[in-house]
Structure 1
Amino acid sequence: MTARQTADLIASHAAALTLFARQWCDSPEDAVQDAFYKLIRLRTPPDDPIAWLFKVVRTTAIDLGRSARRRAKREVAIARPERWFAEREIEGLDAEAAIAALESLPGEQREAIVGRLWGGMTLEQVAIVAGCSITTAHRRYETGLQVLRERLGVICPK
């Protein structure tokens, strides 16, 4: 197939092919471009280039649509925040309320509490991670715990 014949096919059928591909994918231009690229790479042109182009555009558009749906599904799954707690309720504590209370704390207090309680770190390790003194890490931890107790209505003996 000559360059002139290919140019004529593009001029006369690209818009229709794009419209055709749009029913299967959100990037129909990519499907059409890919079909024309495959056409010019053929050693021998197809007997009916127009039918061939529509068939290739259809197949490519369906593949692109499937791929986009799989990607969107993965992105939604990845974007979905994981729960902080495996159980919905821990010893009478509502996990959702605990998460909300933790998320409302200043980052430094939350970091100290999560590191200490769930990370099993010592206050010295919390201080190293936070880049502060042990005294500051302890103050952040205690202040954060006090705020959590108040927000969750938990009375804890000191």
Structure 2
Amino acid sequence: MPVIHPAELSRLLAAHGPPLALLARQWCDAAEDVVQEAFVRLAEQNPPPDNPVAWLYRVVRNGGISMARAVGRRRRHEVEAGQLHAEWFEPTAADALDAELAAAALAELPVEQRETVVLRLWSGRSFEEIATLTDTSTSTAHRRYQAAIAALRQRLGADQTR
């Protein structure tokens, strides 16, 4: 049996996209991403499900829950990593401003670079471990790290001669 026809996908998206996004929004902020991923997965189903609408609702619900779990894990890990070294210094008002600038600069990086910096600096992972976690080569993990550090230095105006 063939995959679902593109016209049928368009019809389903028009009819069910907004309610599916509302459903996903119960669990996560990136509801549209969850819905889009569900439609991509539907387009890949061969044969298509017997009841595509019910299938979409189940996939969107599960995707929203999974994304909420991932966000929760990420936040917990960030808090834990921040607490590991909190005793190293007493922050001043200037430090807080620098931290906000650094966080903003980090958020502007492409996700692959940001992930590599977080894994290397805050999680203490080796480039070999980062490569395994991100399903890349060690040299790719190292290049991403170098590119991220260079971009952060440029954005933060740090001396690049070091």
Q: Normalization by structure 2: what TM-score?
A: 0.51
- Give ranges in structure 1 of 5+ residues lacking alignment: 85-98, 105-158
One-letter code of the match for 1:73? Answer: R
Tell me if 1:83 matches 2:87: yes
For residue 153 of structure 1, what is the aligned residue in structure 2? none
* Stretches (4+) displaced over 4 A: none
Tell me if 1:14 matches 2:7: no
C-alpha distance in 2, partners of 1:30/1:45? Answer: 21
- Give ranges in structure 2 of 5+ residues lacking alignment: 93-162
Alignment length, in residue pairs?
88
Question: Percent identity between the aligned chains?
Answer: 40
C-alpha distance in 2, partners of 1:82/1:68? Answer: 22
For residue 50 of structure 1, what is the aligned residue in structure 2? 53
Aligned-pair Cα RMSD in Å: 1.7
Q: Normalization by structure 1: what TM-score?
A: 0.52
Deviations 1:33-81 (A, max 9, x none): 1100000001111111100000000011100000000001111222334
For residue 105 of structure 2, what is the aligned residue in structure 1? none
Following superposition, the deviation at residue 82 of structure 1 comes to 2.6
Larger radius of gyration between Structure 1 and Structure 2? 1
The SS at the match of 2:61 is: helix
C-alpha distance in 2, partners of 1:53/1:10? Answer: 10
Q: How does 1:90-129 map to 2 (within 5 A)?
A: none
